[in-house]
Structure 1
Amino acid sequence: MTDLRRLLEIAEGAVAVAADLVESREPGALHSKGDRDMASDTDIAVERAVREHLAKVTPEIAFLGEEEGARPGEGQLSWVLDPIDGTVNYVHGVPLWGISLGLVDGDRQVAGVLDFPMLGTRYLAADGLGATRNAETIQASKTTELSEAMVMAGDFAVGEDAAEKNRARFALIELLVPRVQRIRMLGTGALHLALVADGSLDAAVMFSNKPWDTSAGAVIAREAGAVVLDLDGSPHDVASSATIALAPGIADELLPLIQQAAGG
C-alpha cells in the first residue's frame, strides 16, 4: 500500500530543493520551445536537480519533467514536475510563478506540492489527507451566486493551431463577462488551481491539461473541496482534455457555459 503521507513529505523536500535553487540564481539564457514559448536555464537546472534528488530517495518511482521528459520507473507511480510554472512571468520579473510537483498513480493524481516563492505560499495535499497552505487547512469557496464569482481563464494558446484553440477562450470570456463578477488571467495554471483550493477564486477554466501544469494543483483543489472536472463533466485525471476547477455551489450553473464556449 502506498504511503502517501511519507511521499508527500518527500515531495515537499524536493520542492524545497527547487525553491532554493531558483532563488539563488538569475533566469540565465532562454531556450525557444516554439512560437513565443520558452524555457530558461533555471527551468532546466531545477528539473535536473529535482530529478536527481528524487532518483536517490524514490528510485522505484518514474519521473516526468516538462523540459526533459521521462525517466522510467518500476511501478505505476510517477512524479510529474513543472520546474517553473509561469516561465514568461518569471523572466519578466512578474512574481506570479511557482514550482509544481505532483504524484500520479496511473491516471489519477494522488499527491501534490505547489510552491510560490515570491508569494511566500506553499500548498500540499494527498488523497484523503486534506489540503493545506503554509500548514493551515484550506477549503474551496462557498460561493453559490455566479454573479459573485471570480473566475480564472487559462492562458491563451500560442503556436500551431493557436487561432482555432483560442476560439473557445474568446467564447468563454464573451459568455462570462455579463454573468460573473470578474474574469482574471494570471499566466500560471498551477496558481489558478491553488487559489481555487484556498477559496480566493471561485473557478479556474483551462481548455488544456498538461500534466506538469495540473497534476499537483488538481489534487490540492480536489482535497480542498473543489469540483475538478474534464470538459464532459467527468472527474479530472491525467488523461482529461481540459482542467476545470469549480466551487461546488456554482458548478451546475457554470459548467454548461464552459461546455457551450467549447462548442460542446
Structure 2
Amino acid sequence: MSDYRHLLPVAIEAVARAAEAMQRRPPGALTVKGDRDIASALDYEIERDIRELLRVATPGIGFLGEEHGVSGPGEMQWVLDPIDGTANFVRGIPLCAVSLGLLHHGEAVLGIIELPFLGNRYAAAQGDGATADGKPIRVSRTNRLSEAIVAIGDYAVGADAPAKNQLRLALTARLAESVQRVRMTGTAALDLAWLAEGKLDAALTLSNHPWDMAAGVAIAREAGAEVVDWDRTRHSANSSMTLGVTPALIDDTLGLLRDTGRLPNPCRRSQRFEP
C-alpha cells in the first residue's frame, strides 16, 4: 500500500485557502450550467486558484475540477469541488463545503473536507485513519434501521430527471417507513463527513461524480464505513452510486434499495469516469 500522508499538508493548505475565500467573498455572478444547475463566479475562481497551487506543488499529479475539467497526468489525480452545495452557499445556508480528494487508479485514497461556516475540517489518508479537527473519528455503532438517521442525495435535475427520480423517490419512501429520520443536506461531502463522524448512519447518493465523492469516500472508509456501489462492489470513480453505510446496517440498507425494484443495468454504468 502506498503512503499518501505526505500529501496531506499541501491538500490542507489548498482547502484552507478555498474556505477562506468562501468566508470573505460573496458568490458573485451566477452561471446557469443546465436545468436548475448553477455555478457562482467564486466556484470558478477557487478552482483556478487551487488548480495552479497544486500544479506547482505536485507537478506529477493531475487535476480534475468540477467546473474546468481535467489537466495534467492521470494515474494520480486531485479531484476538487470548489464549493460543494453552491445552491446553499448562494442563499446563505451554511451547509456547504470545500471538497478535495485524491484518486489513484480511480480509487479515493486521500480526502480533505472543510465546512467553512460550521468551523470543521475532516481529513484522511489511506491507512492512516480519519480525523475531525485533528481528533480521530469513527462511524456510529447503530445496528437497527429504526434508530438510524440517513441522508439521501439531492434529487436529479436536467436530462432524464423524471426517470432518474423514480428510484430516488421510491427509496425515500422506503426509508421514511423504516428509519428514524431522513435528511437531505444538499452536499454529498458533508453527508460523508458526518457519516464518518457518526452523526449520520448512512449517506446514500444515487449517482457518482468524482468531485462530489472522492474526498468523502476516503474519509468515510478510514472511519470504518462501508462505501459501495448498488451491487455491493467496492466504490470507485467508475461506480454508478455512492452508498456509504455504517457496517452493521449495510445489509438492511442495500435490501431497501433492492426492494425498490428499479436498479440500473450493471452493464450500463451511467456515470463512468475515465481518469
Alpha-carbon offset, residue 8 of structure 1:
1.5
Q: Is the 8 A contact 1:232 1:259 kept in 2?
A: no
Q: Is the 8 A contact 2:47 2:80 kept in 1?
A: yes
Q: Is the 8 A contact 2:3 2:126 kept in 1?
A: no
Within 5 Å, which residues of 2 pair with 1:102-121?
102-121=101-120
Alpha-carbon offset, residue 254 of structure 1:
1.2
Alpha-carbon offset, residue 206 of structure 1:
0.6
The aligned counterpart of 1:160 is 159
Alpha-carbon distance in 2 for matches of 1:7, 1:229: 25
Within 5 Å, which residues of 2 pair with 1:31-42?
31-42=31-42
Alpha-carbon distance in 2 for matches of 1:119, 1:239: 31
Name the aligned partner's letter for residue 163 of structure 2. E
Residues 101-125 of structure 1, C-alpha deviations (whole Å, 9 max, x = no match):
0000011110000000001000000
The aligned counterpart of 1:23 is 23
TM-score, normalised relative to structure 1: 0.97
Residues 144-198 of structure 1, C-alpha deviations (whole Å, 9 max, x = no match):
0110000101100111100000001110011111110010100001111011000
Alpha-carbon distance in 1 for matches of 2:172, 2:64: 33
User: Which 4+ runs in 1 deviate beyond 3 A?
Assistant: none
Larger mean CA deviation between 1-10 and 81-90 belongs to 1-10
Q: Is the 8 A contact 2:113 2:123 kept in 1?
A: yes
The aligned counterpart of 1:10 is 10
The aligned counterpart of 1:65 is 65
The aligned counterpart of 1:257 is 256
- Point out where structure 2 has 5 or more consecutive residues left out of the alignment: 264-275
Q: Is the 8 A contact 1:11 1:113 kept in 2?
A: yes
Q: Is the 8 A contact 2:99 2:215 kept in 1?
A: yes
3-state SS of the aligned residue for 1:170?
helix
Q: Determine if the alignment matches structure 1 residue 186 to structure 2 residue 185.
A: yes
Q: Determine if the alignment matches structure 1 residue 50 to structure 2 residue 32.
A: no
The aligned counterpart of 2:76 is 77
Alpha-carbon distance in 1 for matches of 2:2, 2:100: 17
The aligned counterpart of 1:217 is 216
Q: Is the 8 A contact 1:139 1:224 kept in 2?
A: yes
3-state SS of the aligned residue for 2:79?
strand
Alpha-carbon offset, residue 260 of structure 1:
2.6
Alpha-carbon offset, residue 262 of structure 1:
5.7
The aligned counterpart of 2:129 is 130
Q: Is the 8 A contact 1:169 1:261 kept in 2?
A: no
TM-score, normalised relative to structure 2: 0.94
Alpha-carbon distance in 2 for matches of 1:55, 1:67: 17
Alpha-carbon offset, residue 261 of structure 1:
2.6
The aligned counterpart of 2:146 is 147
Number of aligned pairs?
263
Name the aligned partner's letter for residue 224 of structure 2. G
Name the aligned partner's letter for residue 201 of structure 1. L
3-state SS of the aligned residue for 2:44?
helix
Alpha-carbon distance in 1 for matches of 2:2, 2:172: 42
Alpha-carbon distance in 2 for matches of 1:57, 1:3: 17
3-state SS of the aligned residue for 1:155?
coil
- Point out where structure 1 has 5 or more consecutive residues left out of the alignment: none
Alpha-carbon offset, residue 2 of structure 1:
4.8
Alpha-carbon distance in 2 for matches of 1:163, 1:262: 16
Alpha-carbon distance in 2 for matches of 1:214, 1:196: 13
Alpha-carbon distance in 2 for matches of 1:2, 1:69: 26
Alpha-carbon offset, residue 259 of structure 1:
2.6
Q: Is the 8 A contact 1:30 1:41 kept in 2?
A: yes
3-state SS of the aligned residue for 1:110?
strand
3-state SS of the aligned residue for 2:49?
helix
3-state SS of the aligned residue for 2:28?
coil
Residues 24-78 of structure 1, C-alpha deviations (whole Å, 9 max, x = no match):
21100000100110000000010011001101100110000000111122x5110
